Structure 1
Amino acid sequence: MGTHEEALAAIEALDSKYCWEGMEGPMVVKWMDTALQRRRREQHLAAMRQGLVPTMAMAL
């Protein structure tokens, strides 16, 4: 994107609007994660795998 406004317009136009065959939900379009956000998510996922935090069960 050339400008901040163009990026905002793209996010608004695309986020949660399209769902392709085989996908469980619509496409998510958002700002790129910062390194800190990514590191915290990875730590949380690792803790979930070790059973240190509860996981969210999906209702079917």
Structure 2
Amino acid sequence: CGRGTSREPPPNVALELCVRFRDRQVLRRACVSGSWGDLDRAAPFFPFIRDQPFKVPASDR
């Protein structure tokens, strides 16, 4: 999921969000200065429904 490869990662990605319906997982990570951070898989529930739009609220706090 996402753009770039381990050989050529993008310079900066604030949030990469990968939704895997088959496994009911939401994967999150960021790329800072060309280095991908660890994947975060922790989620208390799976909030997505296939083919339905969703919103991601964001805050700088």
Scaled by the length of structure 2, what TM-score is found?
0.23
More helix by share: 1
Q: Which has the higher strand share?
A: 2
Which is greater in Rg? 1
Q: TM-score w.r.t. structure 1 length?
A: 0.23
